[in-house]
Amino acid sequence: MTKPTRNTLTSLFSSAIRAEVLALLLNNSEERFYVREIATLLRKNPSGVKRELDNLEKMGILISKRVANLKYFQAEKKSPLFAELKNLIAKSQGIHGALKALLKTSNVKIAFIYGPYAESEDADTVNLLLIGVNSLPAESISDVEEKFGKKVHISVIDENEFKGRKENGDIELEKLLSGNKIMLMGKL
């Protein structure tokens, strides 16, 4: 049996934009986003994003609300497909995909998974290093932990502290950076 991948999700939904829009909105189901915001987060053309948002709204998977001159979209949690689609996206993206989706809505500069999980995905614990952000919503992290049955340990380093430690040749940081990593956001 082949393991589902991100390409499986794209193939299933026939549109890369639709798959990414669904992943973003279903993984952040408590939040509302406007079209240009989604296009920026996904690095996609706003007109293509708008077309998929309208299609998903017609299907009852998303809802929208107009505030002033902006139309905000959000996952429709009452949709009979909500739980199934969210589960399908999680299975196709894996835990690193779910974490990456959470990070897209934060102001994190660099994020990566390190340690035993980066060596072998069989590890029970996922070590996540965030650079340039204060924190992530604890509720979102606990959702990811519950869904994948893994504990997520988060280490947070201020961007200036990271640069200083890197420039000064901090031994612990060098060891961490030279080990196996799964990059989620940014570049080292």
Segment among 42-46, 114-118, 133-137, 175-179 with least mean pLDDT: 133-137
Please, are residues 181 and 174 in contact by the beta-carbon 8 Å criterion?
Answer: no
Domain boundary among 50, 82, 114: 82
Domain boundary among 48, 82, 116: 82
Kindly state whether residues 73 and 114 are assigned to the same domain: no
Residue 171 lies in a domain: yes
Count the neighbouring beta carbons within 10 Å of the beta carbon of residue 183.
14
Domain that holds residue 152: 106-185
Mean pLDDT estimate for the chain: 86
Residue 96 lies in a domain: no
Q: What is the pLDDT of residue 135?
A: 65
In the predicted structure, residue 1 carries a pLDDT above the cut 50:
no
- For β-strands 33-34 and 181-185, DSSP reports them as unpaired
Q: What is the pLDDT of residue 9?
A: 56
57-107 pLDDT tens trace: 998 999 999 999 999 999 999 998 898 898 888 777 788 888 888 888 788
Kindly state whether residues 115 and 153 are assigned to the same domain: yes
> Which CATH number characterizes residue 47's domain?
1.10.10.10
Kindly state whether residues 57 and 115 are assigned to the same domain: no
Kindly state whether residues 72 and 122 are assigned to the same domain: no
* Percent of the chain clearing pLDDT 90 (strictly above): 43
Q: What is the pTM of this model?
A: 0.65
Kindly state whether residues 181 and 110 are assigned to the same domain: yes
In the predicted structure, residue 133 carries a pLDDT above the cut 70:
yes
Binned at pLDDT 50, 70 and 90, residue 137 comes out as low
Across 144-158, average pLDDT: 89
Total of domains in the chain: 2
Kindly state whether residues 114 and 77 are assigned to the same domain: no
Residue 90 lies in a domain: no
Binned at pLDDT 50, 70 and 90, residue 108 comes out as confident
Please, are residues 48 and 7 in contact by the beta-carbon 8 Å criterion?
Answer: no
Binned at pLDDT 50, 70 and 90, residue 8 comes out as low
Binned at pLDDT 50, 70 and 90, residue 141 comes out as confident
Kindly state whether residues 131 and 77 are assigned to the same domain: no
Q: What is the pLDDT of residue 162?
A: 92
